[in-house]
Amino acid sequence: MSGVVTPFPLSASPPSQVPFAREELTRILDLYGRMVAAGEWRDYALQFGKDAAVFCAYRRAADYPSARLEKRPALRSRQGMWVLYGELGQVLKRGHELPGVLAVLERRLVKVVEG
C-alpha cells in the first residue's frame, strides 16, 4: 500500500440540513445570554431541518417561544434568509444580515435594562 492515495468522496448533493455558522451561533447565543441576565428568557431550543435552521427562545420551558429566528438560505436572493417571529407568530423583521434582524430584540433589551 505504498504511494496509494484514496480520494475523499465529495458529495454533489446539498447538505441534508441547514446549519448555523459558528459566527451566527455565537451572536445568537450572546444575545440569549444577555436576555437571560435581564430575566426575559429562561430556555432555548435549536432545530435543524432540510430547509431551515431555527432558534427559539422561551420565557418558561413549557411556553410558546417568545422569539423564533429562522435561517432559510433558499430566500437569500429574495427578501433575505433571516426571519424573526414574535410570540404570536407575527413577522417582526426580515433581512439579509443577522445583526439587522437581531437589532429588534437588542432594542427590547435596552428598554428592559433602563426600565
Q: Encode pLDDT of 8-43 as tens digits.
A: 766 656 668 999 999 999 999 999 999 999 889 999
Sheet of 82-85: strands edge to edge?
43-48, 53-58, 67-71, 82-85, 91-95
63 has pLDDT over 80:
no
Residue 27 falls in which region: left (phi positive, over 0), alpha (psi -120 to 50) or beta: alpha
Question: In this model, does residue 1 exceed pLDDT 60?
Answer: no
Total number of domains constituting the chain: 1
Residue 84 maps to a domain: yes
For residues 39 and 7, give the distance between their C-alpha atoms in angstroms, rounded to a whole number. Answer: 52
Residue 49 lies in domain: 22-114
Instruction: Decide which of 10 and 1 is more confident.
Output: 10
User: Does the model's pTM come out above 0.85?
Assistant: no
CB 69 within 8 A of CB 54: yes
d(CA 96, CA 113) in angstroms, rounded, equals 28
8 part of a folded domain = no
Per the domain annotation, does 4 fall within a domain?
A: no
